[in-house]
């Protein structure tokens, strides 16, 4: 199933107005810049250059796109990619109803027409025959061929394609082809420095600065355990979850156990290692 901020409308003029009004990010999302990613994204938008975001789970890629959509005043269509995602899910399909057969645009087609920012999250999870759909949108042509109707749709001048993936999950079967990668500029994300992560955790969770600093230190130490068999370090998102539980009155160790330790691994030995780190910080 496609997770997209799109409803099916029959009237094309109404759709364009609807898309802009309905899918604009109306309130400013909280995003703390770490480097020059804001300037890079804005330059890419103005020059019609597709953007690839690379980084680990929960490091702020999706929040960054939401913030930039708000900053640029463009509607945002987000699609969570998965292995069952088909070309028809993205472009559209014919449907039968009481009036007969009619064509329904998919979320990609609607985003292209409305000049939205189209965000394909974890694009490597999509099937290879699906990802090739984006090729004509990522060069000088900026078009979307619709094979089932024989139409070619030119992208609105304000349209931008943005994709993301987690390089830590790369494999021979789940990686972007070089022919796809070289159609984008790439912005690399990582977990922020401790002082910046402290600020983010405090802002997003509502916990006090001392607790936020302790959680940021915890995240930093746990990420070092990746060398000892931990598949993925503690994301900023998980630190925020722990902070929210602590704000609600849950004891720090218990909050870290359910939000971080038990989430990161099912292996008893790894869990004990993570809990030792938790106990060393939250004495």
Which pTM was predicted? Answer: 0.87
Is the pLDDT at 132 greater than 90, yes or no?
A: no
Per-residue confidence (pLDDT) for residue 169, from 0 to 100 = 64
Residue 4 covered by a domain: no
pLDDT in tens, 67-121: 999 999 999 999 999 888 888 899 998 888 777 888 889 999 999 999 999 999 9
Distance CA 118, CA 127 (A): 18
Decide if 6 is inside a domain: no
User: Are 142 and 76 found together in one domain?
Assistant: yes
Q: How far apart (Å, rounded) are the C-alpha atoms in residues 120 and 79?
A: 5
User: CA dist 168 to 33, 53, 174, 224, Å?
Assistant: 22, 13, 11, 15
Sheet holding 185-188, edge to edge: 76-80, 117-121, 160-165, 51-54, 185-188
Residue ending a domain, choose from 139, 169, 188: 188
Residue 221 lies in a domain: yes
Same domain, 114 and 164: yes
Could you tell me how far CA 220 lies from the centroid of its own chain? 22
Structural domain count, the chain: 2
Could you tell me if residue 1 is inside a domain?
no
3-class DSSP state of 154: strand
Assigned domain for 2 exists:
no
Could you read off the pLDDT of 138-188 as tens digits, one per residue? 999 999 999 888 899 999 999 999 999 988 765 545 677 888 899 999 999
50 is in which domain, residue-wise?
12-188
Token code pair at residue 208: 């006090």
């Amino acid at each position: 199933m496609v997770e997209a901020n799109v409803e099916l409308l029959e009237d094309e003029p109404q759709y364009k107005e609807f898309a802009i009004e309905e899918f604009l990010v109306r309130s400013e999302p909280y995003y703390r810049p770490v480097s020059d990613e804001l300037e890079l994204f804005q330059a890419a938008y103005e020059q019609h250059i597709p953007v690839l975001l690379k980084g680990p789970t929960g490091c702020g890629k999706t929040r960054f796109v939401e913030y930039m959509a708000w900053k640029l005043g463009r509607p945002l269509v987000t699609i969570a990619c998965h292995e069952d995602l088909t070309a028809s899910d993205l472009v559209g399909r014919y449907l039968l109803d009481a009036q007969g057969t009619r064509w329904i645009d998919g979320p990609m087609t609607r985003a292209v027409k409305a000049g939205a920012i189209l965000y394909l999250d974890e694009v490597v999870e999509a099937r290879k025959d699906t990802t090739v759909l984006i090729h004509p949108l990522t060069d000088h042509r900026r078009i979307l061929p619709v094979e089932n109707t024989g139409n070619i749709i030119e992208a609105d001048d304000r349209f931008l394609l943005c994709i993301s993936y987690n390089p830590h999950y790369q494999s021979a079967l789940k990686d972007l082809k070089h022919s796809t990668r070289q159609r984008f500029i790439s912005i690399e994300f990582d977990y922020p420095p401790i002082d910046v992560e402290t600020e983010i955790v405090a802002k997003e969770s509502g916990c006090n600065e001392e607790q936020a600093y302790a959680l940021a230190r915890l995240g930093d130490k746990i990420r070092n355990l990746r060398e000892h068999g931990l598949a993925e370090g503690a994301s900023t998102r998980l630190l925020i979850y722990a902070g929210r539980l602590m704000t609600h009155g849950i004891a720090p160790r218990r909050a870290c156990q359910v939000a971080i330790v038990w989430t990161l691994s099912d292996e008893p030995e790894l869990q004990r290692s993570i809990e030792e780190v938790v106990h060393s910080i939250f004495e």
